[in-house]
Amino acid sequence: MSVSEKGRILSIQSHVSFGYVGGKAATFPLQCLGFDVDVVNSVQFSNHSGYGRFGGTKTSAVELTSIFDTLELNELLEPSRLLTGYVPNAEALTSVAEVATKLKQQRPEIIYMLDPVMGDSGRLYVAPDVIPVYRRLLPLSTIISPNWFEVETLTNVPLKDMPSLRRALTILHTDYKVPNVTISSVPLQPWLIDAVPPYLRPASDNPHLLCISSSSTYKSSNGHLSSVHAQSVPLLPGYFSGVGDLFSAMIVGHFDPSDTSIPTGKTALSHAVSYALTKTHAVLVATHEYSEKLPLEDRLPTDDEQDKIEPMRKIRRMRGRELRLIQSMDILTGKGPGGLRHMEPWTNFWE
Amino acid sequence: MSVSEKGRILSIQSHVSFGYVGGKAATFPLQCLGFDVDVVNSVQFSNHSGYGRFGGTKTSAVELTSIFDTLELNELLEPSRLLTGYVPNAEALTSVAEVATKLKQQRPEIIYMLDPVMGDSGRLYVAPDVIPVYRRLLPLSTIISPNWFEVETLTNVPLKDMPSLRRALTILHTDYKVPNVTISSVPLQPWLIDAVPPYLRPASDNPHLLCISSSSTYKSSNGHLSSVHAQSVPLLPGYFSGVGDLFSAMIVGHFDPSDTSIPTGKTALSHAVSYALTKTHAVLVATHEYSEKLPLEDRLPTDDEQDKIEPMRKIRRMRGRELRLIQSMDILTGKGPGGLRHMEPWTNFWE
């Protein structure tokens, strides 16, 4: 496929002036893959909210609808892929849902990557009334990329063992008709380590996360609901923002069910996730290495009490941990060194 | 200079979802050069205004100031370069002027590329009250990139012969203290063809434009006000939007007064303009070639009467002429084939 035929992605998510989260974490990487990206900003903020202080405004539902309606009227609403991320409230998300519904009706073959950005580690960071809107959106999606907490929120299933994980995936695939689910950054709790096949377990005692993909579009040879793949990745210390946004962008950018070169035993999803995982982790390593070399004042450890007294502590830490996306262009275009972190079949997942 | 040390550019201009003008024409090319781009959107529109119909909203002065103030408070307002383009009205431009003034005070070495976007071919497309604000901004700039009409508007000098062109440049360099002026796309009228040295004249009878750069920071060997360089470029038929925005971005991205490899006889400005001219023209050629291959309905010629009756005529034409930026990544990064279109000294300009 030549670069000029990669097509258009309509990306609807947040915009920050400084740093790389939301659209700023997705657009450049997708452009590096050769996509024209139609960018609609759900907010325009100075920086991401993790800094504690941010300026700017949210785009209202009326403003979003004005943009979508004019694009349609002008016959410019013709993406082959749709990527939606952070949208701050139910009104704005409803406007996004309308355009997603319309696109799906007009072009059923559209690849829709839905990242149901709602929260992390037990904390919602959107208004709770977005949850039902996301549930209504799920059946339109081609792929969803919730984190662990968002799976629990969408399915109402607390994930505490293999039966609950299977139940949650069953709800997503069956009740919500989502063909492809990927869950990144799953904490590798003891029950999960016990459940994964030995070849998916971390190679060292250092902390690792598990990445899971589940595709119901490929009939599993033994008749199970979906084909599940996974891989464990070393956990880098500290928190980096925008990682999930980059990961979702790389999945939708690499997902290609018509690709005849996908190796046997892989699904189109697991193949795309292998690329996304490899590139995202490499960017993260570059970012981590960069931040480690900063002066001490730019990397003071998290200390909620001290951070509260002295807001610049946290702000400087956040600044030093902004993704090194621009400096990772070779990684993003795929010209960098290093092999692929392959998602491997989790053959006994459903047993 | 390694990619990671290119630094940050604060870019303040328009945003469109579809297509490439303003920030969408500047950000990706600057990122391809290795710059972190801090993007502040002066508007969020569905598409550029040349389509005739556009949705979305302008960012208010209050919203812009909220973003700038928070960036400063968070110590994130630390660009080494500043690029300002289309800002729709005087209130918003005043907010931009405040941040430019502050940056210039805090870091006098900042490289400020001011593109005084006001209009083209005799027609203003901003509110007239922006003109005095741009005049106040001029002394802060390192480089300005007005078109022919904007030079006339800023200086109040109608450009009709060499004395008036010299007078306009004298006003910009002397009264407004602008060290570097570049004027692209100058129509090569007979008096101008007569005035340029033979080696700067078009190589063929096909229509050409002249690009002029004038730098007062290098003492001309014969004591003139500035060192002037120029080059003629073939004019491609029809109108392409965003060309000036790409051109300005490429100049500020390539401008480097500390570069010791600049050839004798060139200024830092003319050297940067050579790169900008080469890359912009190559993108334009790629765009033209692409648009020529489109179905007839996507490239119906301009016909004001017909276009009025049938708005989609114009819209389809505009869509087919959006810059092929993403497909020109190799051109933008400088890895593409082809030599440089050198800006050559216009030695007798002031005589």
pLDDT in tens, A12-67: 999 999 999 999 999 999 999 999 999 999 999 999 999 999 999 999 999 999 99
**Residue from B325, B326, B330 to probe the interface with A (highest A Cβ count within 10 Å):** B326
Q: Strands A8-16, A81-84: parallel, antiparallel or unpaired by DSSP?
A: parallel
Q: What is the pLDDT of residue A1?
A: 35
C-alpha B100/C-alpha B98 separation (Å) is 5
- Kindly state the average pLDDT of the residues A75-87: 97
Q: Does residue B284 have a pLDDT over 60?
A: yes
Q: What ipTM describes this predicted complex?
A: 0.96
Most confident of the following: A169-178, A298-307, B259-268: A169-178
In degrees, rounded to 5, the angle at the alpha carbon of residue A156 between the alpha carbons of residues A154 and A159 is 100
Query: pLDDT band at residue B220, thresholds of 50, 70 and 90?
Result: low
Cβ distance B57 to A34 less than 8 Å, yes or no, reads no
CA-closest candidate to residue B75, choices A110, A281, A318: A318
Residues of A in contact with B3 (CB under 8 A): 326-327, 329
Q: Does residue B125 have a pLDDT over 90?
A: no
A8 to each of A24, A268, B14, B72, B327, how far by Cα in Å?
17, 19, 21, 35, 12
Distance from CA of B57 to the nearest CA of A (A): 7
Closest CB to A55: pick one of B19, B67, B329: B67
pLDDT digits (tens, 9 = 90+) for B62-75: 999 999 999 999 99
Residues of B in contact with A41 (CB under 8 A): 15, 41, 44
In degrees, rounded to 5, the angle at the alpha carbon of residue B109 between the alpha carbons of residues B107 and B114 is 95
Question: B317 with A74: CB under 8 angstroms?
Answer: no
Question: A342 with A323: CB under 8 angstroms?
Answer: no
C-alpha B247/C-alpha B115 separation (Å) is 10
Q: What is the pLDDT of residue A264?
A: 87
Query: pLDDT band at residue A121, thresholds of 50, 70 and 90?
Result: confident
- Phi and psi at A115, nearest 5°, equal -100, 105
C-alpha A137/C-alpha A143 separation (Å) is 11
Query: In the beta sheet, which residues pair with residue B210?
Result: B186, B232
Closest CB to A17: pick one of B67, B326, B329: B67
Sheet holding A56-58, edge to edge: A56-58, A36-45, A8-16, A81-84, A111-114, A143-144, A180-187, A208-215, A227-234, A344-345
Q: Strands B56-58, B36-45: parallel, antiparallel or unpaired by DSSP?
A: antiparallel
Q: What is the pLDDT of residue B204?
A: 86
Q: What is the pLDDT of residue B263?
A: 86
Amino acid, single-letter form, for residue A8: R
Distance from CA of A191 to the nearest CA of B (A): 42
pTM of the model: 0.96
Q: Does residue B176 have a pLDDT over 70?
A: yes
Half-sphere exposure of A199 (CA within 13 A, CB side): 10
Average predicted confidence (pLDDT) for chain A:
94
Alpha-carbon radius of gyration of chain B: 20
Query: DSSP secondary structure string, B11-45?
Result: EEEEEESSS-SHHHHHHHHHHHTT-EEEEEEEEEE
Query: pLDDT band at residue B81, thresholds of 50, 70 and 90?
Result: very high
pLDDT digits (tens, 9 = 90+) for A189-202: 999 999 999 999 99
Closest CB to A4: pick one of B31, B71, B327: B327
Q: Does residue B253 have a pLDDT over 90?
A: yes
Q: Tell me the two tokens of residue B335.
A: 């890895």
Q: B94 — alpha (psi -120 to 50), left (phi > 0) or beta?
A: alpha
Sheet holding B56-58, edge to edge: B56-58, B36-45, B8-16, B81-84, B111-114, B143-144, B180-187, B208-215, B227-234, B344-345
Q: What is the pLDDT of residue A335?
A: 74
To the nearest 10°, the Cα dihedral for B166, B171, B173, B176?
-170
C-alpha A80/C-alpha A201 separation (Å) is 37
Query: DSSP secondary structure string, A11-39?
Result: EEEEEESSS-SHHHHHHHHHHHTT-EEEE
Query: pLDDT band at residue A336, thresholds of 50, 70 and 90?
Result: low
Residue whose entry in the numeric block shows the structure tokens 């500047």: B26
Strand, helix or coil for residue B295: coil
